[in-house]
Amino acid sequence: MSLTKVHSGKVRELYAVGDDQLLMVASDRISAFDVILAEPIPHKGRVLTAMTVHWLEALADLAPSHLVTADPASLPDGAAELGDVAGRAMVVRRADMLPIECIVRGYLAGSGWKEYRQSGTLHGTPLPAGLAQAQRLEEPMFTPSTKAEEGHDLNISFDEAVEIVGKETAALARDLCVEAYRRAHAAAEAEGIIVADTKFELGFIDGQLAICDEVLTPDSSRFWPAEKWSPGTNPPSYDKQPVRDWLEGSGWDKTPPPPALPSEVVQATSDRYVTAYERICGRRLADWYGA
């Protein structure tokens, strides 16, 4: 029985499993500057899936999730037709997804640092003067954004999130995401990794707000090695930074088609993804499904 594809994203494919479940398959595709590159990153899909399962299990007492199983033996009929999906596929429950990205920032980095330099604010909230790049915030901040069908998501204030999803849901999302971030930060810090910021996707399942999609992965989070972090610097991150750095220096104008990535850039990026999983989760990727 062939599965029906219901969505194809930059990284993931979604297939219908009956009326109330989906098969979510994480590919090894990688995108940069909103363009999908031709070269896959070995192990990337398995890392994203393994980390998501790790964190959904770790946060299970905090909130329900969409996860049903990642066990290849329990995948639906037709999954084998999709190729080698062991370790890259999860069966998940369908959810009524919130139309906002639920971002939590514990440090001043990325677009947050850019906004602070320009206006002294973070998603419209005034911050103390004199903060440095990569400085730890006094308290983690819930900084939502829109979900853009095309182009870039737009940072919004909490009040704007309230206008989109309602006061009660916005408060529930904020409290859930901030607590999940606190737990993840503490766990990763014990392994020598700083979770600078992360993006959660939430949705309602059976009337409860649940954690969905990918969770605390290098694609949705900024992970820094603690030994290389200090305020006033731009610490290296466990993500696709080698790809971005190479593309920035290649002379590419950031419109399709992108240039071909050198093999050493592909390998360096793969190594970062695997290292992120193994350091943060304390497990070997070789022990995960599909090895």
1-94 against 97-228: fold identical? no
Number of Cβ atoms within 10 Å of the Cβ of 160: 17
pLDDT attached to residue 148? 75
CA gap 168, 126 in Å, rounded = 24
pLDDT of 150 higher than 70: no
Residue partners of 79: CB distance under 8 A and separation at least 6: 3, 23, 85, 89
Write the pLDDT tens digit of every residue in 15-70: 999 999 999 999 999 999 889 999 999 999 999 999 999 999 999 999 999 999 99
1 pLDDT band (50/70/90 cuts)? Answer: low
pLDDT of 219 higher than 70: yes
Domain locations in the chain as residue ranges? 1-94, 97-228
pLDDT of 250 higher than 80: yes
CATH class of the structural domain 1-94: alpha beta
pLDDT attached to residue 153? 81
- Which string of b and e fits 61-99 if b means at least 16 CB within 10 Å? eebbbbbbebebeebbeebeebeebbbbbbbbbbbeebe
pLDDT-wise least confident of 51-55, 81-85, 168-172 = 81-85
CA gap 219, 181 in Å, rounded = 15
pLDDT of 157 higher than 80: yes
Q: What is the DSSP string of the chain?
A: -PPEEEEE-SSEEEEEETTTEEEEEE-S--EETTEE-SS--TTHHHHHHHHHHHHHHHTTTT--BSEEE--GGGSPTTGGGG-S-TTTEEEEE--EE-SEEEEEEEE--HHHHHHHHHHSEETTEE--TT--TTPEEEEEEE--EE--SSS---B--HHHHHHHH-HHHHHHHHHHHHHHHHHHHHHHHTTTEEEEEEEEEEEEETTEEEEES--S-TTTEEEEEGGG--TTS----SSSHHHHHHHHHHT--SSSSPPPPPHHHHHHHHHHHHHHHHHHH-S-GGGSTT-
CA gap 126, 72 in Å, rounded = 48
Across-strand partners of 97? 203
Are 162 and 170 in contact, with CB atoms under 8 Å apart? yes
Does the domain made of 97-228 have the CATH classification 3.30.470.20? yes
